[in-house]
Structure 1
């Protein structure tokens, strides 16, 4: 999924923004085997909407966004048992740097840690 957002620790990022790519891998327990209906699986349009809404909220750290997306997916989709979220910042404002940076987070439902 690709987005334009205002994430980062540098002032210019909060003004001009930047381009981001979000990738999800979601492992779930199917309601039935084989899966034949959308109600028996995870609707990826709902995942997209969830990610899009979160990416619209300016945040300093990509790690914050990744962990919040993961927590929201676990809360919304009870059949999800494990997931991977990666957020790639395309062309970060680093002097003399050509490339991208990625924050990735993998979590299992049973291993969730909640902050007070």
Structure 2
């Protein structure tokens, strides 16, 4: 497994943080924890996890990793009862960039799922 720092920026190791969520050994306890684990999944190419944690009403039929995009850092700006605002940093063939989004989450079957996001800034 991974003893490396978790890509979500928590300061914990991947195994002690998002790794347990990606493996299905635990479920996210909050929208922020789910959003952090989804960022880590994008960073590590864990598309199965992204699919499982996306609301069936809004998720695409097929998820693929963005070729050439490397997600490098996450900043959580605000987290409320069912929304998280964040800035995700990435490198791509076109250069470095950011995604500033406010994501909406919902409890479904006792688990948090991602519903939609609105880019801001």
**Smaller-chain TM-score bracket:** under 0.3
- Pick the structure with more helix per residue: 1
TM-score (norm 1): 0.26
Higher gyration radius (CA): 1
- Pick the structure with more strand per residue: 2
TM-score (norm 2): 0.26
